[in-house]
Amino acid sequence: MKKLTMLILLLSSTSALAAWSELPVTNATGATVFIDLGKIRNKGMPKVKMQHLINFHQQETNASGHAYKSAKELVEYDCEEEHYRVLAESQYSSAMGKGKVVSFTNNARQWEPVELDTIEETLWETACAKERITRHD
């Protein structure tokens, strides 16, 4: 019975990890970004929601002074207006969203324009399944 439980735990953790795909980011960000393409909500609609995971190469410190190595964000993308806003964020003490939850917020932020050559631009393009039409200068 103990071996069966260990096998189930191993398989579930492997499949959970396998859902994350590394996002190719071209700028030097000090982080690796992962997305779960299978969980993009409202795909093909004007507004799309997508979760991403950020692994920081160096330990980060939030405004409250707590150290974290990774963060998950649920973001809503306006595919027509080329804007985004973070709906929820959680920060973790270890990589890949593991370890202790250091911080959690589910207060939606204000809409922001998608800027050129940023992680947000690559995430917007992925969530909305299109290249940029206009560029924000």
**pLDDT single digits (tens) 45-76:** 889 999 999 999 999 999 999 999 999 999 99
- Segment holding 34, helix H or strand E: strand 31-35
We report the CATH number of the domain holding residue 115 as 2.40.128.710
Q: Which domain holds residue 44?
A: 21-128
pLDDT bucket at 131, cuts 50 / 70 / 90: low
Q: Who's near 76: CB < 8 A, 6+ residues apart?
A: 47, 48, 49, 84, 85, 87, 108
- Tell me whether residue 11 is in a domain: no
Token pair of 6 as six digits: 């260990």
Token pair of 50 as six digits: 């997508």
Answer whether 69's CB lies under 8 Å from 94's CB: yes
- pLDDT at residue 2 tops 50: no
- Tell me whether residue 12 is in a domain: no
Tell me which residue has tokens 């970004």.
33
Q: How many domains does the chain have?
A: 1
- Tell me whether residue 5 is in a domain: no
- Tell me whether residue 8 is in a domain: no
User: What is the pTM for the complete model shown?
Assistant: 0.77
- Tell me whether residue 93 is in a domain: yes
